[in-house]
Structure 1
């Protein structure tokens, strides 16, 4: 992978403002709202694999698992590029979408979008989705500290403020409950494998 492309993706992601906007009642980063037409018109392909989740639910872990499956377990090839290049994040800027467009099939793509905001081409093509859900208590705590660490996210305030915002869906990518329920219902109509983070931990043998 061209180092200049990697740098461009990193720069574009770091330039995202922590300001928040809203689309169809869902709270999103304003930077996502600003390029929404490009995201919405992204063209899926037959054979695409999508990792979907609410933030801090085991997304990166699942991305690496799927990448290794596609590569028949070849660890050396899995180290070919950073995760955000191997598995482009649909919402994170024009360059990430350009990387996705340039990839050979089968592609692995990532999104945190709730099901109702997924670009329509993903339902028109033969696409497989792996949705990862996590216990909301653990998800909320992890998301709080992610907000404190990542400068592209809004200041979470104190824990009480963040708890209130999380429960009312006033955090980026919206309401956790709507998100997981929406994808749960969609699995009855599309090729969606619904997986729980806690089951991934159990399979790996990590003490709870």
Structure 2
């Protein structure tokens, strides 16, 4: 299975956790992989440097239309990094922007789609982007939502749309080549969930190695690393990237009005993925 394996998700849904697990699984280190080198093995598709290489000039000279048009070429550059599969983080929808596919299937071997309860996503989005929770709820309902350029991270603008729009777009991906992972299952039944991910990737690895990768990629390990040396993917809007890492926070934090608003905005998709509260 050569080509890109997309590690896709709406922001703040478990993508970094997935990348951390894959780094520890593939590299099989004696101690947990440094969270600040995750991009060495699992790069993101939003790096400005990819676009500079693909177009042959500094990023600031591109129009947004040119950036969009370069996306397939960028994906080919990433796919060519190695003969085997390449794990690539993306927050993009599975769809088109100005007529250009955001995911280039000619370079694609498969995808892991990580999804999280939007009631909890709203809290994490609020913290990460420096928004009120009401502001986060509004962002998650915006079909044109995007992450603006991040100069400190060297990233381009990333379009991800609404929470349900993002999730629904990826349901159109070839289901035989996609594996869906729920954030909550990663927490509640890690061995079963991560072993299924390994099986999807067609990796024949011993159980002990998978268990070690799960242990080395735990929230507590990542949080300890961030406390000791920071995390370069941290937003400038808050103090911690690895904030709480627990499911069900919404029950204690969101108001009834906020819960109702999220459910009314995303009811069909929440039901599809098993997120409607009793």
Interval of TM-score (by shorter of Structure 1 and Structure 2): 0.5 to 0.7
From 165, 169, 174, give the equivalent of 2:143.
169
Q: Secondary structure, in 3 states, of the residue corresponding to 2:189?
A: helix
Quote the residue 1:11 is aligned against.
none
1:108-119 matches, cutoff 5 A: 108-117=87-96, 118-119=101-102
1:193 paired to 2:179: yes
**Shift in alpha-carbon separation, 1:66–1:144, aligned structure 2, 3 A:** same
Unaligned runs of 5+ in 2: 54-76, 147-159, 192-244, 248-278
Q: Tell me if the contact between 1:54 and 1:133 (Cα under 8 Å) persists in the aligned partners.
A: yes
The total of aligned residue pairs comes to: 153
- Normalised by the size of structure 1, how large is the TM-score? 0.61
Question: Structure 1 131/96 Cα, relative in aligned 2: closer, same or farther at 3 Å?
Answer: farther
TM-score, normalised on structure 2? 0.47
**Equivalent residue number for residue 130 of structure 1:** 112
Alignment partner of 1:146 is 2:128: yes
Q: Which residue of 1 aligns with 2:48?
A: 93
Q: In 2 relative to 1, CA 137–202 (structure 1 residues): closer, same or farther, beyond 3 Å?
A: same
Mark the CA change 1:66 to 1:92 in structure 2 (over 3 Å): closer, same or farther.
same
Instruction: Work out which of the two has the higher radius of gyration on C-alpha atoms and give 1 or 2.
Output: 2
Tell whether the 8 Å contact from 2:92 to 2:102 is kept in structure 1 after alignment.
Answer: no
CA contact (8 A) 2:93 2:102 kept: no
Partner SS state of residue 185, structure 1: coil
Give the structure, 1 or 2, with the largest relative contact order (CA under 8 Å, sep 6 or more): 1
1:57 to 5, 13, 24: 13
- In structure 2, how many angstroms separate the alpha carbons of the residues matched to 1:96 and 1:59? 22
Q: Is contact 1:90–1:97 with CA below 8 Å preserved after alignment?
A: no
What is the SS of the residue equivalent to 1:89?
coil
Give the superposed CA RMSD.
3.2
Structure 1 unaligned runs (5+)?
Answer: 1-44, 149-155
What aligned pairs does 1:19-38 form with structure 2 within 5 A after superposition?
none
Residues 46 and 159 (structure 1), Cα distance of their counterparts in 2 relative to 1, 3 Å cut: same
